[in-house]
Amino acid sequence: MRIFCGLGNPGAKYAANRHNIGFMALDHLAQDHSFSPWRARFQGLVSEGLLAGEKVVLLKPQTFMNLSGQSVGEALRFYKLQPEDLIVFHDELDLPPGKLRLKHGGGHAGHNGLRSIHGHIGEAYGRVRMGIGHPGHKDAVAAFVLHDFAKADAKWLDPLLAALSQSAAHLAKGDGGRFQTAVALLMAPPKPQSAPKAPKTATVAAPGTAVADLTGPDDTRSALQKLRDRFRADG
Protein backbone atom coordinates (compact mmCIF):
# COMPACT_ATOMS: atom_id res chain seq x y z
CA MET A 1 0.00 0.00 0.00
CA ARG A 2 1.16 3.51 -0.79
CA ILE A 3 0.04 7.08 -0.26
CA PHE A 4 0.31 9.49 -3.17
CA CYS A 5 0.12 13.04 -1.83
CA GLY A 6 -0.37 16.03 -4.09
CA LEU A 7 0.60 19.47 -2.80
CA GLY A 8 -1.42 22.63 -3.32
CA ASN A 9 -3.68 25.16 -1.68
CA PRO A 10 -7.41 24.52 -1.14
CA GLY A 11 -10.19 26.54 -2.74
CA ALA A 12 -11.22 27.74 -6.19
CA LYS A 13 -8.97 30.80 -5.89
CA TYR A 14 -5.87 28.63 -6.10
CA ALA A 15 -7.13 25.75 -8.23
CA ALA A 16 -5.29 26.73 -11.44
CA ASN A 17 -2.13 28.08 -9.75
CA ARG A 18 1.28 26.71 -10.70
CA HIS A 19 1.71 25.82 -7.02
CA ASN A 20 -1.28 23.44 -7.35
CA ILE A 21 0.12 21.13 -10.00
CA GLY A 22 0.31 18.40 -7.35
CA PHE A 23 -3.46 18.58 -6.83
CA MET A 24 -3.96 18.55 -10.60
CA ALA A 25 -1.86 15.40 -10.97
CA LEU A 26 -3.94 13.51 -8.40
CA ASP A 27 -7.24 14.73 -9.87
CA HIS A 28 -6.16 13.44 -13.28
CA LEU A 29 -5.04 10.11 -11.84
CA ALA A 30 -8.23 9.60 -9.81
CA GLN A 31 -10.42 10.24 -12.85
CA ASP A 32 -8.41 8.09 -15.27
CA HIS A 33 -8.28 5.08 -12.95
CA SER A 34 -11.81 5.27 -11.50
CA PHE A 35 -10.78 5.91 -7.91
CA SER A 36 -13.41 6.44 -5.22
CA PRO A 37 -15.07 9.86 -4.78
CA TRP A 38 -13.06 12.35 -2.74
CA ARG A 39 -13.98 12.54 0.95
CA ALA A 40 -12.74 14.62 3.86
CA ARG A 41 -10.17 12.87 6.05
CA PHE A 42 -6.79 13.53 7.71
CA GLN A 43 -7.26 17.31 7.35
CA GLY A 44 -7.44 16.72 3.63
CA LEU A 45 -9.32 15.04 0.81
CA VAL A 46 -8.84 11.32 0.22
CA SER A 47 -9.59 9.01 -2.71
CA GLU A 48 -8.77 5.28 -2.84
CA GLY A 49 -8.21 2.81 -5.64
CA LEU A 50 -5.96 0.21 -7.24
CA LEU A 51 -3.01 0.59 -9.57
CA ALA A 52 -1.54 -2.61 -11.00
CA GLY A 53 -3.22 -4.50 -8.16
CA GLU A 54 -1.65 -2.28 -5.49
CA LYS A 55 -3.85 -0.25 -3.12
CA VAL A 56 -3.15 3.47 -3.38
CA VAL A 57 -4.55 6.29 -1.24
CA LEU A 58 -4.57 9.72 -2.86
CA LEU A 59 -4.26 12.61 -0.41
CA LYS A 60 -4.74 16.34 -1.03
CA PRO A 61 -4.00 18.23 2.22
CA GLN A 62 -6.48 21.05 2.86
CA THR A 63 -4.29 22.76 5.47
CA PHE A 64 -2.69 25.16 2.96
CA MET A 65 0.74 24.47 1.56
CA ASN A 66 2.94 25.43 4.51
CA LEU A 67 1.08 23.06 6.87
CA SER A 68 0.91 20.04 4.54
CA GLY A 69 2.90 17.90 6.97
CA GLN A 70 0.04 17.82 9.48
CA SER A 71 -2.21 16.01 7.03
CA VAL A 72 0.53 13.72 5.73
CA GLY A 73 1.68 12.71 9.20
CA GLU A 74 -1.86 11.91 10.32
CA ALA A 75 -2.47 9.69 7.27
CA LEU A 76 0.79 7.77 7.67
CA ARG A 77 0.09 7.08 11.33
CA PHE A 78 -3.46 5.88 10.62
CA TYR A 79 -2.36 3.38 7.98
CA LYS A 80 0.76 2.42 9.96
CA LEU A 81 2.98 3.22 7.00
CA GLN A 82 6.57 4.42 6.82
CA PRO A 83 7.86 7.55 5.03
CA GLU A 84 9.22 5.25 2.31
CA ASP A 85 5.59 4.37 1.44
CA LEU A 86 4.81 8.01 0.59
CA ILE A 87 5.19 9.72 -2.80
CA VAL A 88 4.65 13.49 -2.91
CA PHE A 89 3.76 15.26 -6.18
CA HIS A 90 4.78 18.93 -6.26
CA ASP A 91 5.82 21.87 -8.40
CA GLU A 92 9.54 22.32 -9.10
CA LEU A 93 11.05 25.69 -10.00
CA ASP A 94 14.45 24.23 -10.89
CA LEU A 95 13.13 22.08 -13.74
CA PRO A 96 12.00 23.37 -17.15
CA PRO A 97 8.26 23.28 -17.82
CA GLY A 98 7.09 19.77 -18.62
CA LYS A 99 10.14 17.97 -17.24
CA LEU A 100 9.72 15.43 -14.45
CA ARG A 101 12.15 13.87 -12.00
CA LEU A 102 11.71 11.32 -9.22
CA LYS A 103 13.72 11.83 -6.04
CA HIS A 104 13.97 9.92 -2.75
CA GLY A 105 15.19 11.66 0.39
CA GLY A 106 17.27 14.80 0.50
CA GLY A 107 16.46 18.41 1.32
CA HIS A 108 13.33 20.43 0.63
CA ALA A 109 15.08 23.16 -1.42
CA GLY A 110 12.95 25.85 0.20
CA HIS A 111 9.61 24.41 -0.90
CA ASN A 112 7.19 25.24 1.93
CA GLY A 113 5.08 22.12 1.48
CA LEU A 114 8.09 19.83 1.59
CA ARG A 115 9.54 21.77 4.51
CA SER A 116 6.39 21.06 6.51
CA ILE A 117 6.43 17.35 5.60
CA HIS A 118 10.10 17.13 6.60
CA GLY A 119 9.18 18.55 9.98
CA HIS A 120 6.53 15.89 10.61
CA ILE A 121 7.93 12.67 9.13
CA GLY A 122 11.54 13.34 8.14
CA GLU A 123 13.02 13.27 4.65
CA ALA A 124 12.93 9.57 3.67
CA TYR A 125 9.97 9.83 1.29
CA GLY A 126 9.71 10.01 -2.48
CA ARG A 127 8.92 13.11 -4.50
CA VAL A 128 7.75 13.51 -8.07
CA ARG A 129 9.17 16.90 -9.06
CA MET A 130 7.15 18.48 -11.87
CA GLY A 131 8.92 21.33 -13.61
CA ILE A 132 7.10 24.64 -13.94
CA GLY A 133 10.11 26.80 -14.81
CA HIS A 134 11.54 29.77 -12.91
CA PRO A 135 10.54 33.45 -13.16
CA GLY A 136 14.21 34.44 -13.32
CA HIS A 137 14.58 36.17 -9.96
CA LYS A 138 13.96 34.88 -6.45
CA ASP A 139 11.90 37.95 -5.54
CA ALA A 140 9.37 37.00 -8.23
CA VAL A 141 8.93 33.40 -7.10
CA ALA A 142 5.97 33.89 -4.72
CA ALA A 143 3.90 35.73 -7.31
CA PHE A 144 4.90 33.25 -10.00
CA VAL A 145 3.83 30.08 -8.18
CA LEU A 146 0.59 31.67 -6.92
CA HIS A 147 -0.40 32.73 -10.42
CA ASP A 148 -2.49 30.60 -12.78
CA PHE A 149 -0.85 28.65 -15.58
CA ALA A 150 -0.95 30.57 -18.84
CA LYS A 151 -3.12 29.25 -21.67
CA ALA A 152 0.02 28.48 -23.66
CA ASP A 153 1.18 26.14 -20.88
CA ALA A 154 -1.55 23.68 -21.82
CA LYS A 155 0.63 22.38 -24.68
CA TRP A 156 3.00 20.78 -22.15
CA LEU A 157 0.87 20.64 -18.97
CA ASP A 158 -1.92 18.47 -20.37
CA PRO A 159 0.47 15.88 -21.90
CA LEU A 160 2.51 15.80 -18.68
CA LEU A 161 -0.51 15.08 -16.48
CA ALA A 162 -1.73 12.44 -18.92
CA ALA A 163 1.69 10.76 -19.11
CA LEU A 164 2.03 10.77 -15.33
CA SER A 165 -1.38 9.16 -14.93
CA GLN A 166 -0.66 6.48 -17.53
CA SER A 167 2.67 5.63 -15.88
CA ALA A 168 1.60 5.79 -12.22
CA ALA A 169 1.23 2.00 -11.91
CA HIS A 170 5.03 1.71 -11.95
CA LEU A 171 5.20 4.00 -8.91
CA ALA A 172 2.59 1.94 -7.10
CA LYS A 173 4.76 -1.13 -7.65
CA GLY A 174 7.87 0.68 -6.43
CA ASP A 175 9.61 0.87 -9.82
CA GLY A 176 10.62 4.52 -10.03
CA GLY A 177 13.02 3.96 -12.91
CA ARG A 178 10.34 2.51 -15.19
CA PHE A 179 7.98 5.30 -14.14
CA GLN A 180 10.39 8.02 -15.24
CA THR A 181 11.19 6.21 -18.48
CA ALA A 182 7.51 5.72 -19.31
CA VAL A 183 6.71 9.39 -18.72
CA ALA A 184 9.67 10.50 -20.83
CA LEU A 185 8.64 8.26 -23.74
CA LEU A 186 5.05 9.47 -23.63
CA MET A 187 6.18 13.10 -23.56
CA ALA A 188 8.70 12.67 -26.38
CA PRO A 189 8.06 9.42 -28.29
CA PRO A 190 10.94 8.24 -30.52
CA LYS A 191 10.71 9.36 -34.13
CA PRO A 192 9.83 6.58 -36.58
CA GLN A 193 12.80 5.37 -38.59
CA SER A 194 12.74 6.23 -42.27
CA ALA A 195 12.70 3.39 -44.76
CA PRO A 196 16.16 2.45 -46.07
CA LYS A 197 16.99 3.80 -49.50
CA ALA A 198 16.88 1.30 -52.33
CA PRO A 199 20.35 0.51 -53.78
CA LYS A 200 21.14 2.16 -57.05
CA THR A 201 20.98 -0.12 -60.08
CA ALA A 202 23.37 -0.04 -62.97
CA THR A 203 22.17 1.59 -66.16
CA VAL A 204 22.63 -0.42 -69.35
CA ALA A 205 23.74 1.80 -72.20
CA ALA A 206 21.80 1.82 -75.40
CA PRO A 207 23.71 1.45 -78.65
CA GLY A 208 25.43 4.71 -79.49
CA THR A 209 25.59 5.98 -75.90
CA ALA A 210 28.89 7.61 -75.02
CA VAL A 211 30.95 5.86 -72.38
CA ALA A 212 31.50 9.15 -70.51
CA ASP A 213 27.77 9.32 -69.73
CA LEU A 214 28.09 6.20 -67.57
CA THR A 215 31.28 6.92 -65.64
CA GLY A 216 31.67 8.66 -62.29
CA PRO A 217 31.31 7.96 -58.54
CA ASP A 218 27.72 6.67 -58.96
CA ASP A 219 28.72 4.01 -61.47
CA THR A 220 27.90 0.66 -59.84
CA ARG A 221 28.50 -1.55 -62.90
CA SER A 222 30.80 -4.52 -62.70
CA ALA A 223 33.92 -4.68 -64.88
CA LEU A 224 32.16 -7.11 -67.22
CA GLN A 225 29.15 -4.77 -67.58
CA LYS A 226 31.46 -1.85 -68.35
CA LEU A 227 33.25 -3.84 -71.07
CA ARG A 228 29.97 -5.00 -72.57
CA ASP A 229 28.56 -1.46 -72.58
CA ARG A 230 31.71 -0.13 -74.27
CA PHE A 231 31.29 -2.59 -77.14
CA ARG A 232 27.64 -1.59 -77.46
CA ALA A 233 28.60 2.11 -77.51
CA ASP A 234 31.20 1.46 -80.18
CA GLY A 235 28.67 -0.39 -82.30
pLDDT at 213 over 50: no
Task: Tell me the catalytic residues.
Answer: 19
pLDDT of residue 225: 74
The stretch 153-182 carries a mean pLDDT of 96
pLDDT at 211 over 80: no
The stretch 185-206 carries a mean pLDDT of 67
Of 42, 39, 53, 44, give the one whose Cα is nearest residue 6: 44
Encode pLDDT of 19-66 as tens digits.
Answer: 999 999 999 999 999 999 999 999 999 999 999 999 999 999 999 999
State whether CATH 3.40.50.1470 applies to domain 2-187.
yes
pLDDT of residue 200: 61
Average pLDDT score over the chain? 89
- Is this structure's pTM higher than 0.85? no
Encode pLDDT of 74-84 as tens digits.
Answer: 999 999 999 99
pLDDT-derived band at 210, boundaries 50, 70, 90: very low
**Domain residues of the chain, as ranges?**
2-187, 198-235
CA distance 182 to 22: 19
pLDDT-derived band at 231, boundaries 50, 70, 90: low
